[in-house]
Amino acid sequence: MTHCLDNSGIRYPAAILPGGRIGIAAPASPFDRDLFFQGIEVIKQMGFEPVFSERIFLKTGYFAGTCQQRARELQDFFDAPDIQAVWCVRGGYGSMRLLDALDYERIEKHPKIFVGCSDITALLAALYHKCRMITFHGPMVASLARADSPTIESVVHSLSGKGIAEIKAVKGRVIRPGKAAGRVLGGNLSTLCHLLATPYFPDLTGKILFLEDIGEKPYRIDRMLIHMHMAGCFNSLAGLAAGSFTRCGSCWEIDRIFTDIFGSSLFPVVTGFPAGHGMPNKTLPMGAVATLDSNTMALAYHEHGVCLSKEAEDGFFQ
């Protein structure tokens, strides 16, 4: 089994099994070699087989190789029948440069687990929007060596289908109370904001929007959210879950911005979810259905983000 298709046309990639081969890709910026190889060892300890070529170490300015090389690497991994997943090394900048170069019709025929965050948000959004494919907002390969155990456990469980995710904002804050269900989409705020008015920005109608960021001053967070607000991005949301805003000012400042913008919203808004650039960085299946509940401070998924053979046999997927 390569993937499953549900009644709404969403493609769930097959869960990766022990010994599964994972293509390691660098769609954006260059990375630290030591952290890379430490991350590779962590993936091996998870029971998977990382696959990469020397091309991954190329540097072209602030990119990990040319746009053509990086796009070809991604396309080849999706085309390769012996590769069960694709895991990104680092963000930085560069993923948006690849969006026009990918063959989405071919990827749609061979959907696979795809993992990354930060600048990789551009690819997460495009793959869902163009291929109707579940992707995974999770830790980068180069961050795995420094990842805590909740981060590691979360990504392993998500990719192998060992459990259905429930993420709690233990130290979060309720901006607007309520409970709502919908497919979870989003990722890095600045990257998502720059996808506006492109063919790769996803339809957020009825969705739970997840947002996080790093290294942005509070006024820039405010400006990006207002930009998206004026563009109508929040008009039909089911809910909004904010993750970590690392080095973006104090939690109080971030919560004040969200209160100013979303305080009178008709949908639930909860901040402080442990996902993003901080630790832990819990893995979120993007495109899968979840419920956001301000009473429990939880984002509770209804389903695996991967296809399991037993579920297929039981008729959960068709």
Distance in Å from the first CA to the final CA of the chain: 13
Cα–Cα distance measured from residue 122 to residue 141, given in angstroms and rounded to the nearest whole number: 17
CATH number of 166-301: 3.50.30.60
Tell me the per-residue pLDDT of 152-163, one tens digit each, with 9 for 90 and over.
999 999 999 998
Structure tokens at 187: 């990722």
Structure tokens at 106: 């071919």
- At 192, give phi and psi (nearest 5°): -60, -40
- CA torsion sign, 263 to 267 to 268 to 271? negative
Predicted pLDDT of residue 5: 75
Cα–Cα distance measured from residue 175 to residue 177, given in angstroms and rounded to the nearest whole number: 7
Strands (DSSP E) contained in the chain are: 3-5, 11-13, 21-25, 49-51, 85-88, 113-116, 135-137, 166-168, 173-176, 179-188, 208-214, 239-246, 269-271, 284-286, 289-293, 298-301
Cα–Cα distance measured from residue 209 to residue 234, given in angstroms and rounded to the nearest whole number: 9
Predicted pLDDT of residue 3: 82
Between strands 173-176 and 179-188, the pairing is unpaired
Q: Following CA atoms 282, 110, 14, 308 in sequence, which dihedral angle do they give, to the nearest 10 degrees?
A: 130
Judge if the upstream peptide bond of residue 280 is cis by omega within 30 degrees of 0: yes
Predicted pLDDT of residue 8: 82
**Would you give per-residue pLDDT tens digits along the chain (318 residues)?**
568 878 789 999 999 999 999 999 999 999 999 999 999 999 999 999 999 999 999 999 999 999 999 999 999 999 999 999 999 999 999 999 999 999 999 999 989 999 999 999 999 999 999 999 999 999 999 999 999 999 999 999 999 999 899 999 999 999 999 999 999 999 999 999 999 999 999 999 999 999 999 999 999 999 999 999 999 999 999 999 999 999 999 999 999 999 999 999 999 999 999 999 999 999 999 999 999 999 999 999 999 999 986 543 343 343
Domains 3-164 and 166-301 share a fold: no
The pTM (predicted TM-score) of the whole model is 0.95
Secondary structure letter of residue 205 according to DSSP: T
> Could you tell me the residue ranges of all domains in the chain?
3-164, 166-301
Number of H helices, E strands in the chain: 9, 16
Secondary structure letter of residue 241 according to DSSP: E
Predicted pLDDT of residue 309: 66
CATH number of 3-164: 3.40.50.10740
Q: Which residues pair with 87 in a beta bridge?
A: 24, 115
Q: Are 274 and 244 in contact (CB under 8 A)?
A: yes
